[in-house]
Amino acid sequence: MKTSSIIIRPERNDDHAKISRLINLAFGRLDEAELVDRLRNSHAFIPSLSLVAVQENEIVGQILFTHIKIVNGKQETSALGLAPLSVLPVFQNQGVGKRLVQEGLQKAAASGHKLVFVLGHELYYPKFGFLPADKWHIKFPIDVPYQNFMALALAPEALQNISGMVQYAPEFNILSPKVTTGITIETERLILKPLTYDQLVKYVQCDNSLESDLNLNKSSRMISADLKAAFEETIFPNVADKTKNYLFCTIWTAISKTENIMVGDICMYGEPNEKGEVEIGYGVYDEYQNKGFMSEVVAAMIKWITKRPNIKSAIASTEKGNIPSYKVLEKNGFIKIGETDSLLHWRLSTDC
């Protein structure tokens, strides 16, 4: 198929249903089409930069650029986000996506836009000049492989003196489960998986809807009233806050590989503080105690933490009477640094 026979043009109102069908077929799910529908009604939408590829009156591809910004304290820099890019399966690998990206970037530059960011394949987008945004200390809102989040300057020196966190329109929140699906930590016996906002809601319900969502065996886990309160007061708001790295705010569930069931959890109480400290908390479900699972979970999380250069130490607190809990910390190299009437306080330097 010759791409020269394809016309690239802005979408029209009567294209919307066809575009939704195209996106659903391209991605094999409904979320991205719903995202585009929501973005059309948002301030982030740019009608002239929602483009379709048309052959013989059939829409075979679509690309969308929306307003985003890079936030660094009080400094904000306007930019574009490229997402999604969709091509009908029967037209893929025939140059349709390439035409859409090329003409989209040309139109964006002609409209005066200077920066474009994309989360995508590390071998595809560099063909258009994209480079890892990490080179300029520009971060994606959640932890993704650095090579997959990329930036392109459409104007000379557009990336000079810019750094910070990219902030997408809130409509993108519906994609978070798909964006984060690949982020896991594996040990010999366990998989640690960070839960998305929607998955946290199911976690609190304790009705096995989360287990169903994760394709796990049913469990009999329960959560305390104190933990429910923590979800409402801190966990839900922090995970929903797109200026924060949600991996430091959410619950990571520990899944037994052999039993395909949740056995416990670990979390961090927010991003590193000004001292470079990250506080961790963890727990194993009653029926899986005394199996060494939490020692394995904490060890894996500490290994993940030590890869972050801005983290200098991990800290934790345990109840004085909870001997198994502080044995977990001692086994992982934590040193007791203080105590109160009811708690012991621990620290592990990530240089150790």
Q: What is the pLDDT of residues 259-278, one digit of tens each?
A: 999 999 999 999 889 999 99
CA torsion through residues 50, 10, 159, 150, sign: positive
**Pair 125, 118: CB distance under 8 Å:** yes
* CATH superfamily of the domain spanning 3-175: Gcn5-related N-acetyltransferase (GNAT) (3.40.630.30)
Q: What is the pLDDT of residue 1?
A: 52
Q: Tell the burial category of 24 from Cβ atoms under 10 Å away from its Cβ (0-12, 13-18, 19+).
A: middle
First to last CA, the chain: 59
CA torsion through residues 14, 176, 197, 190, sign: positive
Q: What is the pLDDT of residue 145?
A: 78
Q: State mean pLDDT over 41-53.
A: 97
Examine domains 3-175 and 180-349 and report if their fold is the same: yes
**Pair 174, 38: CB distance under 8 Å:** yes
Q: For residue 2, what pLDDT band results from cuts at 50, 70 and 90?
A: low
**Which residue matches tokens 């052999």?**
258
Q: State mean pLDDT over 38-52.
A: 96
* CATH superfamily of the domain spanning 180-349: Gcn5-related N-acetyltransferase (GNAT) (3.40.630.30)
Q: What is the DSSP string of 148-190?
A: GEEEEESSTTTTTT--EEEE--GGGGGGHHHHTTT--EE-SSE
Q: What are phi and psi of 316, to 5 degrees?
A: -160, 160
Among candidate residues 263, 262, 296, 301, the one with its CA nearest the CA of residue 279: 301
Q: Is the pLDDT score of 309 beyond 60? A: yes
Q: State mean pLDDT over 33-43.
A: 92
Q: Is the pLDDT score of 64 beyond 80? A: yes
Domain residue spans in the chain? Answer: 3-175, 180-349
329 or 196, greater pLDDT: 329
Q: How far apart are CA 306 and CA 182, in angstroms?
A: 20
Q: What is the pLDDT of residue 175?
A: 67
Q: For residue 34, what pLDDT band results from cuts at 50, 70 and 90?
A: confident
What mean pLDDT, rounded, does the chain reach?
Answer: 90
**Pair 200, 237: CB distance under 8 Å:** no
**Pair 54, 7: CB distance under 8 Å:** yes
Q: What is the pLDDT of residue 196?
A: 84
Is pTM, for the whole model, over 0.85?
no
Q: Is the peptide bond before 84 cis (omega within 30 degrees of 0)?
A: yes
Tokens at residue 248, please? Answer: 């430091």
Bridge-based pairing of strands 138-139 and 164-167 is parallel
**Pair 216, 260: CB distance under 8 Å:** yes
**Pair 83, 112: CB distance under 8 Å:** no
Least confidently predicted of 47-56, 116-125, 227-236, 300-309: 300-309
Write out pLDDT tens, residues 217-254. Answer: 999 999 888 888 989 999 988 888 767 777 888 999 99
Q: Is the pLDDT score of 36 beyond 60? A: yes
